[in-house]
Amino acid sequence: MKIAVKKSILSANDRVAGENRARLDAAGVLAVNLMASPGAGKTSVILATAERLPVEVRPGVIEGDLASRIDADRVAGRGIPVVQINTGGGCHLDAPMVRSALAQLPLDAMEVLFIENVGNLICPAEFDLGAHLAVVIASAPEGHDKPYKYPGMFARADAVVLNKADLLDVFAFDLDDFRRGVALVNRKAPIFVLSCRTADGLGVWMDWMLDRQRDAAARGEQR
């Protein structure tokens, strides 16, 4: 019974996710769903990426949090269009939440949309939002065992970002063990080791993301 209910919730979600994706495709916008535990640096990755985008690639952001506008205010402070979703205790974003946020964003004046999911490595992976890319962000202080403990999240990732790489030594982070853990559940996702503080590694991540952005722009032009 429980399983049947969960299935129907997910299929209703997937229908709205499909509508979101169609809307983003029509606007030629690449949407990136960023998932991580609290404190991994999702907002920092978004800001560091956004400020290095070529001028013709204009960003927009959806911020998902249980409560507060702290992250949205950080983003708005950089002059980036942003909508804050407060889930009121909900531990993940779903497609209907993103649909209402999309209605408040200037999609025609954007080329890439960063969706910062609620800080949680479990259920956000189960809810398709209509984004084109699922990116999991881990960080050096969290330890190298995260892929082993949250395989579902890492299995669904199109890319993995390891943030706060300037602290790898401080936390005795075993990068090889982390890579092995990701490879156990996901052989395709590239792993980008970077630091928002020093900007090391940001360029490689951005090149990969911008390649996908060009594909999204081409989809928009075909319509």
The site for Mg ion (CB under 5 A) is made up of 42-43, 71
Residue 66 engages Zn ion in binding (rule: CB under 5 A): no
Give the range of 47-55, 85-93, 101-109, 179-187 binding Zn ion by CB under 5 A: 85-93
Using only C-alpha atoms, the chain has a radius of gyration, in whole angstroms, of 17
What is the spatial distance between Cα 206 and Cα 199, in angstroms, rounded to a whole number? 11
| Cβ closest to Zn ion, residue 98 vs residue 194 | 98
Closest by alpha carbon to 21, among 116, 133, 174, 170? Answer: 133
Tokens of 92: 């993940």
Rounded to an integer, what is the distance from CA 20 to the centroid of its chain? Answer: 15
91 binds, among Zn ion, Mg ion, none (CB under 5 to 8 A by kind): Zn ion
| Cβ closest to Zn ion, residue 123 vs residue 155 | 123
Which residue in 92, 144, 156, 164 binds Zn ion (CB under 5 A)?
A: 92
**In the bound complex, what is the minimum distance in angstroms from residue 39's beta carbon to Zn ion?**
18
| Cβ closest to Mg ion, residue 71 vs residue 94 | 71
Contact between 195 and 164 under an 8 Å Cβ cutoff? The reply is yes
Sign of CA dihedral 22, 27, 30, 33: negative
164 binds, among Mg ion, Zn ion, none (CB under 5 to 8 A by kind): none
Report the b/e string of 170-198 with b at 16+ CB within 10 A. Answer: eeebeeeebbebbeebbeebebbbbbbee
**In the bound complex, what is the minimum distance in angstroms from residue 99's beta carbon to Zn ion?**
18
Q: Which of residues 102-131 bind Zn ion (CB under 5 A)?
A: 123
**In the bound complex, what is the minimum distance in angstroms from residue 40's beta carbon to Mg ion?**
9
State the residue number with the nearest CB to Mg ion: 43
